Structure 1
Amino acid sequence: MTVTTPNLRHAVSARRRIHASEQVTGAPAPSPVDSYTKPVNTWDDHRHDNHPLDVNDDTKPMPVSTRDASFWLALVFLVTPVWIIVPLSWTYTLYTSWKLYVRRGVAGSDPLQTWEVVLFAYSLFEVLFSIYYAELANIARAYKTRIPKRDMHELQLIFTRVLQSGLSPPISADAPSRPGSPAEPITTLKHDDPRAVDFRSHFRLWFWGAPWSEVTRTAMLDWLAWNTFDKDMRKLDNLQQTVIKEALVMIEKRTGGRLKDVRDGGKPHIVPLKVTHDEVNIRSRPAIVYIVADCINRLAKWYLEWVWDMKSSDHEGVEYLIRNPPSDADASPNHPQHPEPVIFMHGLGFGIAQYLFTIVFLLRKLPSNQPLIVPLQPNVSQAILHPTHLVPLPREQWVKGLKGIIDQFGGERAGVTMISHSLGSLAHCWMMKAYPELIKRSCFMDPVTFCLWEGDVCSNFIYRKPTNAMQLLMSYFVATEPGIALAVQRHFDWFANSLWFEEIPRARNPYYTSFHIGGHDAIVDGYRVKRFLMNHGIAEGLNWNPSGVHGQPCLFPAGMRQLTSWLSSPEPPEPRFDDSDSGSESESDEEDLVEYVLNSKAYPS
Structure 2
Amino acid sequence: MAIDISDISDTIQRRTISFYAVLLFLVAPLWSAVPLAWAFVIYALHTGKFWSYSFLGLNLFAVAFLEVLFSVYHFHLTRQLSGPPPNGHGSISEIQVAFERILKAGLANLPPDGYDEETLDNERPGSPEEDIVQLEHDDHRAMDFRNTLRTWFGRRPWSSVRLYEVRQWIYWSIFNKNLPELEDLPHAHRAVLDDTVELLQKRLGKRIPEGSDVSCRPILLNLDNATVLWRPFAFYAFTFVTNLCLDHWYQRSHGFFRGNHDGLEYLVRIPKNWKASRDSRPVVFLHGLGLGLFQYHNFLSHMVQESADRPLLIILQPHISQNIFHPRYLAPMPRKQTTKTLASLLAAFGWADLETNSSSLNTSEDEVNNTLDIQSRRRSGVTILSHSNGSYCHAWMLKDYPHMVTRSCFVDPVTFCGWEGDVCRNFFYKTCYTGTELLVRYFVGTELGVVNLLQRNFDWSSNSLWYEEIPNARDPSKTLFLLGEKDSIIAPSRVKLYLRSHGIRKGLWCDPNGRHGQALLSGGEGCKVVYEWLKEREC
User: TM-score, normalised to structure 2's length?
Assistant: 0.90
CA 1:216 to 1:143, structure 2 compared with 1: closer, same or farther past 3 Å?
Answer: closer
User: Aligned residue for 1:144?
Assistant: 85
User: Aligned residue for 2:360?
Assistant: none
Kindly state the Cα deviation for residue 148 of structure 1 after the two structures are TM-superposed. 4.3
User: Aligned residue for 1:465?
Assistant: 431
* Secondary structure of the corresponding residue to residue 65 of structure 1: coil
> Of the candidates 47, 64, 70, which is equivalent to residue 99 of structure 1?
47
* Secondary structure of the corresponding residue to residue 322 of structure 1: strand
User: Aligned residue for 2:4?
Assistant: 56
* Secondary structure of the corresponding residue to residue 414 of structure 1: coil
* Secondary structure of the corresponding residue to residue 398 of structure 1: helix
Count how many residue pairs are aligned between Structure 1 and Structure 2.
Answer: 503
CA 1:76 to 1:182, structure 2 compared with 1: closer, same or farther past 3 Å?
Answer: same
Is 1:254 matched up with 2:208? no
User: Aligned residue for 1:455?
Assistant: 421
Kindly state the Cα deviation for residue 149 of structure 1 after the two structures are TM-superposed. 4.4
Question: Structure 1, residues 503-535: CA drift from partner, whole Å, max 9, x if none?
Answer: 111100000000001111121111110110000
How many percent identity over aligned positions? 37
CA distance, structure 2, for counterparts of residue 100 and residue 212 of structure 1:
62
Is 1:390 matched up with 2:330? yes
Code of the aligned partner of 1:471: E
> Of the candidates 513, 527, 534, which is equivalent to residue 547 of structure 1?
513
Kept in 1, the 8 Å contact 2:142–2:205? The answer is yes
CA distance, structure 2, for counterparts of residue 62 and residue 131 of structure 1:
41
Code of the aligned partner of 2:447: E
Is 1:134 matched up with 2:75? yes
CA distance, structure 1, for counterparts of residue 522 and residue 5 of structure 2:
37
User: Aligned residue for 2:226?
Assistant: 280
Kindly state the Cα deviation for residue 151 of structure 1 after the two structures are TM-superposed. 4.5
> Of the candidates 17, 37, 44, which is equivalent to residue 69 of structure 1?
17
Is 1:173 matched up with 2:117? yes
Which one is further off, 310-319 or 59-68? Answer: 59-68
* Secondary structure of the corresponding residue to residue 431 of structure 1: helix
Is 1:569 matched up with 2:532? no
Higher relative contact order (CA 8 A, sep 6+): 1
User: Aligned residue for 1:474?
Assistant: 440
Code of the aligned partner of 2:286: M
Kept in 2, the 8 Å contact 1:514–1:541? The answer is yes
Kept in 2, the 8 Å contact 1:519–1:546? The answer is yes
Kept in 1, the 8 Å contact 2:89–2:175? The answer is no
Kept in 2, the 8 Å contact 1:252–1:258? The answer is yes
Kept in 1, the 8 Å contact 2:9–2:157? The answer is yes
User: Aligned residue for 2:316?
Assistant: 376
Is 1:238 matched up with 2:187? yes
Kindly state the Cα deviation for residue 121 of structure 1 after the two structures are TM-superposed. 0.9
CA distance, structure 2, for counterparts of residue 93 and residue 57 of structure 1:
56
Kindly state the Cα deviation for residue 362 of structure 1 after the two structures are TM-superposed. 1.4
Code of the aligned partner of 1:340: R
CA distance, structure 1, for counterparts of residue 156 and residue 453 of structure 2:
27
CA distance, structure 1, for counterparts of residue 90 and residue 508 of structure 2:
35
Code of the aligned partner of 1:384: I
Code of the aligned partner of 2:527: M
User: Aligned residue for 2:356?
Assistant: none
User: Aligned residue for 1:518?
Assistant: 484
Kept in 1, the 8 Å contact 2:90–2:461? The answer is no
CA 1:462 to 1:338, structure 2 compared with 1: closer, same or farther past 3 Å?
Answer: same
CA distance, structure 2, for counterparts of residue 59 and residue 313 of structure 1:
54
CA 1:64 to 1:391, structure 2 compared with 1: closer, same or farther past 3 Å?
Answer: farther
User: Aligned residue for 1:343?
Assistant: 284
Kept in 2, the 8 Å contact 1:317–1:397? The answer is no
Root-mean-square deviation (CA), in Å? 1.8
Question: Structure 1, residues 84-121: CA drift from partner, whole Å, max 9, x if none?
Answer: 111111111111112326x98xxxxxx21122111111
CA distance, structure 2, for counterparts of residue 68 and residue 359 of structure 1:
33
Is 1:443 matched up with 2:388? no
CA distance, structure 1, for counterparts of residue 196 and residue 333 of structure 2:
32
Question: Structure 1, residues 241-292: CA drift from partner, whole Å, max 9, x if none?
Answer: 1111111111111111111112xxx624421100000011101211111011
User: TM-score, normalised to structure 1's length?
Assistant: 0.80
> Of the candidates 362, 370, 388, which is equivalent to residue 422 of structure 1?
388
Query: Where has structure 1 moved over 6 Å in runs of 4 or more?
Result: none
- Write the mapping of 1:79-228 to structure 2, written as runs, cut at 5 A: 79-100=27-48, 111-142=52-83, 144-152=85-93, 154-168=94-108, 169=110, 170-174=114-118, 175-177=120-122, 178-228=124-174
> Of the candidates 531, 534, 542, which is equivalent to residue 500 of structure 2?
534
* Secondary structure of the corresponding residue to residue 488 of structure 1: helix
Kindly state the Cα deviation for residue 452 of structure 1 after the two structures are TM-superposed. 0.9
Kindly state the Cα deviation for residue 128 of structure 1 after the two structures are TM-superposed. 1.2
Code of the aligned partner of 2:102: V
CA distance, structure 1, for counterparts of residue 90 and residue 10 of structure 2:
34
Kept in 2, the 8 Å contact 1:216–1:268? The answer is no
| Structure 1 runs not aligned, ≥5 long | 1-42, 44-53, 105-110, 573-605
* Secondary structure of the corresponding residue to residue 291 of structure 1: helix
CA distance, structure 2, for counterparts of residue 167 and residue 556 of structure 1:
40
